């Protein structure tokens, strides 16, 4: 789910503790299993952060000077209730206008079963082949930089 929040309370979306606590609570309300929480406050304004959940993640980027916040609620499986997270964030940030887009991702034409999160017991999408580390073009034959 892609959530665009317009005409937000600029003080709310520029307050690190308010944004962080709101995102964590939104994840809980959506029935997510929280794994980690990482947020960063920019100078002079703005906050970016992610709540990593077992089902995937909730991410936010705020532009208080524009009274705007962009939120992604990405999930695997059918346990998560992203609409509950969205409703809560709209309320917490005082958004006067919103846009919500729901995308179906990870749909494979030849899949024998739907994808589920790790907690559901299914493996998820196939893993790409291992990649070798690229050569280091900035190093000369002597091993020092050029």
Q: Tens digit of pLDDT for each residue in 60-103?
A: 999 999 999 999 999 887 889 999 999 999 999 999 999 999 88
Residue 136, pLDDT score: 44
State the catalytic residues. 56, 61, 76
Pair of tokens at residue 93: 């940030």
Give the residue carrying structure tokens 């073009």.
137
Beta bridge partners of residue 61, listed in sequence order: 48, 70
Pair of tokens at residue 21: 């606590």
pLDDT classification of 115: cutoffs 50, 70, 90: low
Q: Cα(91)–Cα(7) distance, rounded to whole angstroms? A: 12
Classified by CATH at the fold level, domain 2-103 comes out as 3.60.90
How many CB atoms neighbour CB 97 within 10 A?
A: 12
Among residues 114, 113, 93, the alpha carbon closest in space to that of 105 is found at 114
């Amino acid at each position: 789910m892609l959530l665009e929040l317009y005409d937000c309370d600029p003080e709310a979306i520029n307050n690190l503790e308010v944004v962080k606590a709101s995102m964590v609570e939104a994840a809980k309300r959506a029935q997510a299993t929280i794994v980690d929480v990482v947020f960063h406050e920019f100078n002079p304004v703005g906050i970016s952060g992610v709540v990593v959940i077992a089902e995937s993640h909730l991410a936010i980027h705020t532009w208080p000077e524009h009274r705007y916040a962009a939120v992604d609620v990405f999930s695997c499986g059918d346990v998560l209730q992203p609409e509950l997270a969205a409703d809560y964030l709209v309320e917490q940030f005082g958004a006067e206008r919103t846009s919500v887009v729901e995308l179906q991702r990870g749909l494979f034409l030849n899949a024998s079963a739907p994808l589920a999160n790790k907690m559901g017991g299914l493996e998820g999408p196939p893993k790409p082949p291992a990649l070798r580390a690229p050569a280091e073009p900035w190093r000369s034959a002597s091993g020092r930089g050029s």
